[in-house]
Structure 1
Amino acid sequence: MKAFLLALLTAFIWGVVPFLEKIGLSSVEPTTAYLVRCSGILIGMVIALSYTPDFSSFGKMGIQSISFLVLAGILAGFVAQVVFYKALKIGEISRIIPVTSCYPLFTFILGWVFLGEEVTLSKVMGMLLILGGLFLLK
């Protein structure tokens, strides 16, 4: 139950943030807006680091873990965010967010193909709902 509530809180925050970003993008180019947004990330990191005195887990990380996490940071934290800002700047928030929120579809496919994750009826139904929602937005 705790994991579900944390996920729900995450969804709420992720729902509020694009609204703030759309307003913030009104008078600035997407790349500039992203660079300003990164200051918030930096402030958050400084706060988190001040409450995390034990860094022993860094020494336990292998090169593969580090490489994948850095690549994920570049893709999600920079490339996708700048592309998202460009879409958000020129499009309607009510159309952009549902499309960008279909990422579980791609995660499902990658998990199934490369990680051998099980395909269940509930997962397929969830993916069909996502596809149906995208079709309705068109």
Structure 2
Amino acid sequence: MNTLLGALLALISAFGWGTASVLVKIGMRNKSAVTVNIVRLYITALFYACLFLFTGNYAEILSLNWQVLVIAFISGQFGFVIGDYFYFSALRLMGVSRTVPITASYPLWTILWAWLFLGRSINAQITIGAFLIFLAIVIVRKGEIEEHLDTKGFLFALLAPISWSIAITLLDFLSSQVSPLSLAGIRMIFAAFGISAFLPKYSEELREITRREVAILSGAALLGLIIGQYAFVKSVSLVGSQISAPVSAVNPIISSLLAIAVLKEPPNAKIILGLVLAVAGVILITTA
């Protein structure tokens, strides 16, 4: 029963993330990546702060030692401030369907950190999966060159999963110390605190944000950061990342299909091939 529920939650997280990516792209048409992230994180942090009042999770959070809180803070910054800045910047420069095949490489980087710092072994299946992801990135890059897309967008799309992988590596430790709801919430609240450093620079742009943009970004926050993130954290706590990660790996497919259907991003044979290879590589790595 836990396995079925865990897989279902991972699938829910994939749909949440995929849909949120498209909403973010729509919401940032006239706004910078930082402004979009400030709005999104503040909405999410406010939701969790109110939720904790009703659930009593503040008691658990206040009982955590300072080392756990520091690690949660760092994880939140790499996951939702630094990583998402690179991701949103790539979305702006290249679009959803051109970005997600590259950002889908985050499990590869996660395995690399585990091998370097935790002594995890790398077998033939992981090697093949890594090769497929590398091949996907090369093919997608060739497709982007043919379309004369900004090189900076490709660099941002590559830096995003590296940052996310650091956050996920820290999340593995935190999930054994903190309940899923509290963990999901404090990472978002800490991320909101971290991104507040940019308020003075982007205050004018924030004042110009429209109700429509707030509504769109609220939807992105609900689907991606509230439902998607909590579902994934809960899934990992139930069945482990070895099941959750491969199921959630369909997220790039969902994002790309929605981008083509909703945003009218023109399909490209190399981009589609890269997407397929990236997803296949992710599944191989996370099931090894």
The number of residues matched between the two structures is 138
How far apart in 2 are the matches of 1:110 and 1:101?
16
Which position in structure 2 is the counterpart of 1:71? 74
> What is the Cα deviation at residue 19 of structure 1?
0.4
| Superposition RMSD in Å | 2.0
- Seq. identity, %: 25
Q: Aligned match of 1:116 in 106, 112, 119?
A: 119
Matches within 5 A, 1:28-43: 28-43=31-46
Q: 1:63 to 1:43 in 2, by over 3 A?
A: closer
> What is the Cα deviation at residue 126 of structure 1?
2.8
Q: Does 1:10 align with 2:5?
A: no
> What is the Cα deviation at residue 105 of structure 1?
0.8
> What is the Cα deviation at residue 129 of structure 1?
2.7
Matches within 5 A, 1:1-138: 1=3, 2-138=5-141
Larger deviation: 18-27 or 58-67?
58-67
Larger deviation: 14-23 or 73-82?
73-82
How far apart in 1 are the matches of 2:43 and 2:132?
34
How far apart in 2 are the matches of 1:54 and 1:76?
22
Q: 1:41 to 1:59 in 2, by over 3 A?
A: closer
TM-score by length of 1: 0.85
Q: 1:75 to 1:26 in 2, by over 3 A?
A: same
Which position in structure 1 is the counterpart of 2:268? none
Q: 1:63 to 1:11 in 2, by over 3 A?
A: same
TM-score by length of 2: 0.44
Q: Bigger relative contact order, structure 1 or 2, given CA contacts below 8 A and separation 6+?
A: 2
